[in-house]
């Protein structure tokens, strides 16, 4: 039985979606049907399609009462909106249906697991959020909340753990049929931990272990955890809040973290071997992964940063928030490696290529334009010349605007810079990353959509992501060098 709250949300989104023209949206990155989007949820393969839900306020283009928006796709690039799946309409989730995951049950129904939020009044007159884990079951369009919600609450927490920061369940089914989920939580030392729970039927859950603990090393609370096996290793992905930078590896604020290691299934303990950022750019948070039917581990994230949400004049815009390009994951030389999903190659057309372009200063190769672009660049020093001091590629460019990636081989540092992208806000516009380049040779694959750029560095060893709301008329692409370089360029339009 659909609640009045959900019916109203569905009616509203159906009406107001029509007011957003197709060219006002990203071409192949999912944005909200209308209003606000943050974390991707319930990323799954169900009934022959990819399903993606998302944190959603249909009524305004800023954060508000959290619903679950819903879209489906056959290729993870072209999306069809379905009606909103969840609304905050029960006593245990009246202040928000927060992030979660999805799994298919043996009877063919889809099970959603999400965090229900209640703002509880305190004796001093203030309020505090209490977070519990809840279920809903449905057919891919309509979902009914479980009569015994919530299924996990404060009594299911290890001693000293916070009931206020207990959220974002990621659910999957193990090879032996057991259902598992990881949940982000704050420990007694005020820092993040990932909790592991198990269930035999997907409905009755019990605490298994503290899978991993932060001990105040990397940020504070760990949000949106994910846990999976990849190329013989075990991987935890999570999004820490309140990070301090550690050289070039982590940046201040809210960021992303990948832990690679081993897993003791008996004790439910993760044995950490290495850590790294997931994305080194400006706008990337709250990852989720799925296993495709052909066995690829694919990740997406919210292509935004909580500290840059004033980038657009949200009260004047019909939508806010995008999901990143889906990325195929692997582990290479002990590091997480990401490549654009291979389905993107089917969208390529209008190939333009240049080989061994040797220059210093600026160069404007003919035919290099566009705001929906897949471009591969190899940069190298020229034999007989001194090592170049700086190389830059500039795009979304005209007389007024430009965004750039620039590389200094002497420092092995790559920088993204969007301060001339048309933003009227004093937000983060630059970020730098230490990249692993040999002898001044750099490989970049740059994917442009109307309102974003994602750069895959050295075959996906690192990625840098940023949103940019530059006027679409700014579509120039050119290169500059301090010193002499030789470059190869292959550029496609994406249609």
Q: What is the CATH number of the domain that holds 427?
A: 2.60.120.560
What is the residue range of 400's domain?
A: 344-494
Q: Are residue 241 and residue 305 in the same domain, yes or no?
A: yes
Q: Are residue 353 and residue 304 in the same domain, yes or no?
A: no
Per-residue pLDDT band for 309 (boundaries 50, 70, 90) equals confident
Of 169, 200, 191, 193, nearest in space to 182 by CA? 169
Residue 256: the pLDDT is 97
Q: Please report, for residues 97, 119, 126, 150, 364, the alpha-carbon distance to residue 122 in angstroms, rounded to integers and kept in the order given.
A: 21, 9, 5, 21, 63
Residue 313: the pLDDT is 65
Q: Are residue 209 and residue 355 in the same domain, yes or no?
A: no
Q: Are residue 325 and residue 402 in the same domain, yes or no?
A: no
Identify the active-site residue in 39, 165, 226, 493.
39
Q: Per the structure block, which two tokens stand in for 83? A: 């009606």
The whole-number average pLDDT for the span 232-247 is: 96
340: CB partners within 8 A, 6+ apart: 325, 326, 327, 328, 374, 445, 447, 454, 456
Residue 314: the pLDDT is 56
Q: Are residue 32 and residue 163 in the same domain, yes or no?
A: yes
Q: Are residue 156 and residue 302 in the same domain, yes or no?
A: yes
Beta strands 49-57 and 35-46, pairing class: antiparallel
Report field, pTM of the whole predicted structure over 0.85: yes
In the chain, pLDDT over 90 holds for what percent of residues? 94
Alpha helix locations (H) across 137-271? none
Q: pLDDT digits over 115-129, tens only?
A: 999 998 888 888 899
Q: pLDDT digits over 255-267, tens only?
A: 999 999 999 999 9
Total domains, the chain: 2
Residue 38: the pLDDT is 97
| Count of Cβ atoms closer than 10 Å to residue 92 Cβ | 17
Per-residue pLDDT band for 286 (boundaries 50, 70, 90) equals very high
The whole-number average pLDDT for the span 366-381 is: 97
Q: Which of 343, 368, 390 is the last residue of a domain?
A: 343
Q: pLDDT digits over 392-401, tens only?
A: 999 999 999 9
Q: Are residue 147 and residue 249 in the same domain, yes or no?
A: yes
pLDDT of 315 > 70? The answer is no
Q: Are residue 107 and residue 255 in the same domain, yes or no?
A: yes
| Count of Cβ atoms closer than 10 Å to residue 364 Cβ | 13
The whole-number average pLDDT for the span 285-298 is: 98
Q: Are residue 442 and residue 432 in the same domain, yes or no?
A: yes
Q: Over the range 292-308, which residues count as b (16 or more CB within 10 Å of their CB) and which as e?
A: eeeeebbbbbbbbbeeb
Q: Per the structure block, which two tokens stand in for 31? A: 């944005």
Q: Per the structure block, which two tokens stand in for 345? A: 């190659």
Q: Are residue 292 and residue 349 in the same domain, yes or no?
A: no
The whole-number average pLDDT for the span 279-283 is: 97
Decide if 39 is catalytic: yes
Q: Are residue 82 and residue 179 in the same domain, yes or no?
A: yes
């Amino acid at each position: 039985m659909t609640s009045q709250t959900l019916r109203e949300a569905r009616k509203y989104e159906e009406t107001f979606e029509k007011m957003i023209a197709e060219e006002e949206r990203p071409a192949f990155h999912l944005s909200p049907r209308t209003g606000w989007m943050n974390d991707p949820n319930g990323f799954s393969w169900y009934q022959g399609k990819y399903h993606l839900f998302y944190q959603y306020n249909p009524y305004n283009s800023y954060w508000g009462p959290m619903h679950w928006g819903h879209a489906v796709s056959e290729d993870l690039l072209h999306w069809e909106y379905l009606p909103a799946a969840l609304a905050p309409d029960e006593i245990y989730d009246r202040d928000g249906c927060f992030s979660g995951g999805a799994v298919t049950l043996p009877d063919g129904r889809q099970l959603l697991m999400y965090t229900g939020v209640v703002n509880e009044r305190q004796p001093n007159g203030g309020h505090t959020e209490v977070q519990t884990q809840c279920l809903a079951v449905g057919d891919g369009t309509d979902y009914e909340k479980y009569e015994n919600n919530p299924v996990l609450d404060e009594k299911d927490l290890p001693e000293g753990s916070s009931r206020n920061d207990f959220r974002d369940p990621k659910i999957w089914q193990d090879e032996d049929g057991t259902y598992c989920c990881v949940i982000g939580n704050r420990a007694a030392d005020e820092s993040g931990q990932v909790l592991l729970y198990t269930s035999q039927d997907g409905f009755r859950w019990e605490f298994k272990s503290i899978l991993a603990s932060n001990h105040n090393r990397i940020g504070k609370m760990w949000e949106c955890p994910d846990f999976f096996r990849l190329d013989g290793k075990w991987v935890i992905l999570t999004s820490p809040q309140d990070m301090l930078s550690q050289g070039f590896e982590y940046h201040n604020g809210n960021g992303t973290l990948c832990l690679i290691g081993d897993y003791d299934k008996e004790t439910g303990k993760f044995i950490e071997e290495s850590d790294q950022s997931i994305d080194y750019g400006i706008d990337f948070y709250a990852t989720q992964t799925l296993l495709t039917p052909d066995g690829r581990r694919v990740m997406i994230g919210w292509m935004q940063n909580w500290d840059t949400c004033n980038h657009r004049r949200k009260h004047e815009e019909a939508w806010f928030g995008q999901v990143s390009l889906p990325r195929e994951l692997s582990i290479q030389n002990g590091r997480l490696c990401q490549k654009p999903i291979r389905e993107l190659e089917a969208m390529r057309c209008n190939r333009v290529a240049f080989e061994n372009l040797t220059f210093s200063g600026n160069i404007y190769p003919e035919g290099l334009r566009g705001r929906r672009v897949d471009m591969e660049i190899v940069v190298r020093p020229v034999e007989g010349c001194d090592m170049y001091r700086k190389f830059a590629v500039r795009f979304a460019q005209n007389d007024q605007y430009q965004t750039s990636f620039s590389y200094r081989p002497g420092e092995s540092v790559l920088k993204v810079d969007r301060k001339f992208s048309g933003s009227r806000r004093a937000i983060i516009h630059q970020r730098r990353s230490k990249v692993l380049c040999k002898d001044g040779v750099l490989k970049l694959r740059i994917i442009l959509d109307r309102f974003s750029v994602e750069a895959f560095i050295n075959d996906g060893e690192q990625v840098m992501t940023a949103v940019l709301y530059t006027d679409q008329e700014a579509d120039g692409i050119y290169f500059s060098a301090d010193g002499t370089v030789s470059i190869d360029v292959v550029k496609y339009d994406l249609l």
